[in-house]
Structure formats: structure tokens, C-alpha cells
Amino acid sequence: MEVEAKLKYARISPKKMRDVSHLLRGKAATEAVALMKCIRRKSTRMLGALLTSAIANAENNNNLTASKLVVDSVIVEEGPVFKRFIPAARGSAHPIRKRTSHVSIVLKEIGGKVG
């Protein structure tokens, strides 16, 4: 049984999100939530909330227990880019690219207790 949760249009660049998402793959769901509370980055707050949501989806919609869930995959894709300009010297302008991310987490149930 697999459970998926998605976060779309997160206002953080995909590269910054991928730096932390690599830590989650293959970990037990409860261990991954604890790991997200220890690391102090903006992306960990977003991934922690998404992971908690995926666990809640598994428990409420599919009657699974959190202790049997493992993070199967974390996919971070690039979302739309907001294009802005900042004034520069001599009447010119420099472009600013505000990147967004789409993240999906897939949890998989395994037999027995993980950890």
C-alpha cells in the first residue's frame, strides 16, 4: 500500500529543497519526522509538514499505522518562476528569478515494525 502527499508552489528553490529531501529516502516515517525537527532550514519545516500530512493521510484514509510506514520516494520538481527586476546603476535593471517547487512524498507500508 502506498500513500502520497503533494506540496505545490512552495516558495523555495528546488535546489535548496533537494538538499534536505535526500536525507528522507528509505527512512522510517516516524524517524524522518524527528530528523526534520532537528535540522534548522526553511525546507525542513515544509518537508516536515508535508511528511506529517502524508502520515495523517495514511492513518485516516487507509487505516495504516505510522510505525509501519517508510519514505519510499521524495520527488522535488521545479514550479513556475516569478520574474522580477531590481533597479541598477545608470538606469538599467537586473533580473531576479523567484523560484518555486512542487514536492511529492510517497510512503510505503512494510511488514513488521521499522526501526
Mean pLDDT score of the chain: 94
Dmax over Cα atoms in the chain, in whole Å? 67
Percent of the chain with pLDDT over 70: 97
Is pTM, for the whole model, over 0.85? yes
Q: pLDDT tens digits, residue range 29-78?
A: 999 999 999 999 999 999 999 999 999 999 999 999 999 999 999 999 99
Phi, psi values for residue 14, rounded to 5°? -60, -35
In the CATH scheme, what is the code of domain 2-109? 3.90.470.10
Which residues are bridge partners to 28 per DSSP?
70
Contact 22, 44 (CB under 8 A): no
Sketch the domain layout of the chain as residue ranges. Answer: 2-109
